[in-house]
Amino acid sequence: MDDHSPEILRFVEHELTALLRRGRSLSFEVAREVHPDLDQNAYGLLLWLRRSDATRLTDLSARLGISKGTLSRQINGLEALGLVRREPEPEDRRAWRLTLTEEGQRRFDAARATRLAMFRRIVESWSRRDVEDFGRLLRRFNDALD
DSSP E strand stretches across the chain: 54-56, 84-89, 92-100
Q: Which of 15, 45, 18 is nearest to 30 (CA)?
A: 45
pLDDT in tens, 83-134: 999 988 888 777 788 999 999 999 999 999 998 999 999 999 999 999 999 9
Long-range contacts of 22-26 (CB under 8 A, 24+ apart): 26/115, 26/118
Question: pLDDT-derived band of residue 1, with 50, 70 and 90 as boundaries?
Answer: very low
Domain spanning 6-145, CATH architecture: Orthogonal Bundle (1.10)
Higher-confidence position of 59 and 41: 59
Q: CB–CB of 49/42 below 8 Å?
A: no
Q: Which of 85, 15, 29, 34 is nearest to 57 (CA)?
A: 85
What does the domain layout of the chain look like in residue ranges?
6-145
pTM (2 decimals)?
0.78
Determine the 3-state secondary structure of 120 from DSSP.
Answer: helix
